[in-house]
């Protein structure tokens, strides 16, 4: 008997093998197909890798219960309905750095937007007002909160929820506490309210020295949206910051992400859409503001983000800054020809130990080289 196989038969065998492989691949509709599908991830990545790094070890999901619960342990969340399947690989970034492509808009190029962030389940209204959280391990899931959360506890998780704040912050972690995670949530504010003529400054504030995680969140309105020295900020959509005049009669500066220096840990800013459309006359500062206000800026990773707006799109840490890695980012021209009103980057310390600037491009593909710090 001949052992030769015709070309058509060989093609048929290859097709059958391919279909068999696809049939066992991980998908958003069958998240149990892979042990790598995290319960707090938007979908299982096609590569089978975790969708994003976390600030701590993965949390074991407890049995799912009704929306609107506040429990002592995280619960499994269903896959998002009507949202596109994630194509991110490990670290929340696409397999090909986005800075290598020409990008017309964040969502079109795989960056977070309104369709890929925020709650994935129906929400239950909770008129909490100001609420202090003092229960370790508490999980708030499925809540539509009118108020703010002040965290005096360890390992608190806010997931698949919405916060509309009229306070200084949406969520605030106090010094001495750790393990805060804010995932798949919408955090916004009421313009014109708050203690400082509408000074709803921080969507998520980390007042302590431990790392926190903020991922897959839709953040808007706040003047300084994500404020911390150390943390893991990934896959978030920060937009529509609201300028306001503070009690001193001046326009309050606005930043999508702000860090004041003196940090004790690592700040990771990876695969976010960070927009600051505030005009230069209304207090625009940066889309990412790394400022040496309270000490030297150190150990910050800014990787694979879509960045647009501000006076400068990025403030790079200034004199003395070390360990600042800015890689594979897209600086968009959607508000200004040079991303920020005055340019892409200011106060970049090119000679700082461990500082790296690599493969950062404008959204039209132009390679960016920072000017020397003055």
For residues 79 and 241, the model is more confident at 241
Hey, CA dihedral for 280, 171, 315, 268, is it positive or negative? negative
List 310's β-bridge partners, or say none. Answer: 286
**Chain centroid to CA 197:** 27
Residue 28 DSSP symbol? T
Residues 291-301 have a mean pLDDT of 92
Structural contact between residues 135 and 154, judged by C-beta atoms closer than 8 angstroms: no
User: Residue 151 — very low, low, confident or very high, per pLDDT cuts 50/70/90?
Assistant: very high
Q: What is the mean pLDDT of the chain?
A: 77
pLDDT in tens, 16-39: 433 333 333 333 333 223 333 333
Report d(CA 87, CA 305) in Å as an integer.
15
The number of beta carbons lying within 10 Å of the beta carbon of residue 39 is 17
| pLDDT for the residue numbered 317 | 92
User: Residue 43 — very low, low, confident or very high, per pLDDT cuts 50/70/90?
Assistant: very low
For residues 94 and 137, the model is more confident at 137
DSSP string, 116-182: TSS-SS--EEEEEEEEEE--TT-EEESEEEEEEEEE-SSS-EEES-EEEE-SSEEEEEPTT----EE
| pLDDT cut 70: percent of the chain above it | 69
Residue 18 DSSP symbol? H
The number of beta carbons lying within 10 Å of the beta carbon of residue 195 is 12
User: Which residues fall within 8 angstroms of residue 292, CB to CB, at 6 or more apart?
Assistant: 260, 261, 317, 318, 319, 320, 321
Q: Does position 93 have pLDDT exceeding 60, yes or no?
A: no
Buried b (16+ CB within 10 A) or exposed e, 223-234: bbbbbbbbbbbb
Q: What are phi and psi of 363, to 5 degrees?
A: -65, -15
Q: 46-55, 275-284, 334-343 — which is least confidently predicted?
A: 46-55
| pLDDT for the residue numbered 92 | 40
pLDDT in tens, 182-212: 999 999 987 666 656 555 589 999 998 999 9
| pLDDT for the residue numbered 81 | 40
Q: What are phi and psi of 148, to 5 degrees?
A: -150, 160
Residues 293-322 have a mean pLDDT of 94
* Rg of the chain (C-alpha set): 22
Q: Token pair of 107, please?
A: 């969502």
Write out the H or E segment, with its range, that includes residue 39. Answer: none
- Name which of 328, 316, 323 is nearest 287 in CA terms: 316
Distances (CA, A) of 213 to 58, 79, 231, 248: 12, 20, 6, 33
User: Residue 283 — very low, low, confident or very high, per pLDDT cuts 50/70/90?
Assistant: confident
322-327 vs 356-358, strand pairing mode: parallel
């Amino acid at each position: 008997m001949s052992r030769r196989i015709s070309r058509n038969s060989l093609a048929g065998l290859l097709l059958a093998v391919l279909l068999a492989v696809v049939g066992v691949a991980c998908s958003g509709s069958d998240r149990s197909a892979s042990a790598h599908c995290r319960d707090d991830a938007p979908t299982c990545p096609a590569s089978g890798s975790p969708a994003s790094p976390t600030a701590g070890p993965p949390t074991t999901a407890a049995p799912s219960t009704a929306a609107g619960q506040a429990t002592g342990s995280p619960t499994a969340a269903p896959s998002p309905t009507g949202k596109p399947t994630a194509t991110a690989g490990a670290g929340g970034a696409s397999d090909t750095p986005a800075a290598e492509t020409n990008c017309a808009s964040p969502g079109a190029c795989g960056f977070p937007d309104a369709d890929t962030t925020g709650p994935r389940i129906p929400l239950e209204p909770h008129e909490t007002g100001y609420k202090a959280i003092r229960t370790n391990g508490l999980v708030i899931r499925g809540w539509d909160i009118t108020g703010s959360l002040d965290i005096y506890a360890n390992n608190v998780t806010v997931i698949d929820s919405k916060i509309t704040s009229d306070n200084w912050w949406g969520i605030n972690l106090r010094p001495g506490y750790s393990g805060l995670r804010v995932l798949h949530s919408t955090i916004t504010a009421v313009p014109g309210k708050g203690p400082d003529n509408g000074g709803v400054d921080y969507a998520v504030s980390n007042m302590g020295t431990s790392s926190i995680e903020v991922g897959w969140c839709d953040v808007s309105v706040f003047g300084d949206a994500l404020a911390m020295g150390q943390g893991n900020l990934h896959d978030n959509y920060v937009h529509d910051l609201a300028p306001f005049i503070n009690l001193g009669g001046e326009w309050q500066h606005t930043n999508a992400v702000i860090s004041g220096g003196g940090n004790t840990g690592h700040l990771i800013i990876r695969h976010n859409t960070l927009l600051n459309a505030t005009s230069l006359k209304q207090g625009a500062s940066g889309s990412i503001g790394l400022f040496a206000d309270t000490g030297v800026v150190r150990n910050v990773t800014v990787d694979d983000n879509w960045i647009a707006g501000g006076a400068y799109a990025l403030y790079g840490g200034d004199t003395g800054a070390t360990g600042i890695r800015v890689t594979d980012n897209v600086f968009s021209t959607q508000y200004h020809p040079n991303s920020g009103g005055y340019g892409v980057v200011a106060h970049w310390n090119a000679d700082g130990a461990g500082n790296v600037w690599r493969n950062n491009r404008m959204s039209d593909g132009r390679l960016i080289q920072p000017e020397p710090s003055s």
